[in-house]
Amino acid sequence: ARCQCKLGPRERRNCGFPGISAVECRKAGCCFNASVPGVPWCFTPKAKKVRKVCPNEPQGRINCGYPGITAKECERKGCCFRAHPAGVPWCFYHRTVEE
């Protein structure tokens, strides 16, 4: 993502080799900006910010437990627990969302 490449010249960590082209750099999953001399032009992007959320929609739940699991047991496993609606997993995995 573009926002991952918005780094000041001093923050850039080299991700390429001398003479790397913009195309080669981007193919390697790196950012390319040749506007500042004396700093890496091909550099490592910022890490993506992610967070875990419990899906609201019942059809998006992926089972993390077993029939009769308690809320405490489910949460100890690091999963979400919602005892409704019937017919879907009540203990289910988080979903990772990029911010």
Mean pLDDT of 52-59: 89
Nearest to 42 by CA among 10, 78, 5: 5
- CATH tag for 50-98 (out of 1.10.510.10, 4.10.110.10, 3.40.50.300, 1.10.3470.10): 4.10.110.10
- CATH tag for 3-47 (out of 3.40.80.10, 3.40.50.300, 3.40.50.11540, 4.10.110.10): 4.10.110.10
pLDDT tens per residue across span 64-97: 999 999 999 999 999 999 998 988 999 999 998 8
CB 50 within 8 Å of CB 96: yes
Reduced to 3 states (helix: H, G, I; strand: E, B; else coil), residue 43 is strand
Is the pTM here over 0.75, yes or no?
no
Q: What angle do CA 77, 83, 87 make, to 5 degrees?
A: 105
pLDDT tens per residue across span 15-41: 989 899 999 999 999 999 999 899 999
Q: What's the pLDDT band for 99 if we cut at 50, 70, 90?
A: low
Q: Is it the case that residue 13 has pLDDT exceeding 70?
A: yes
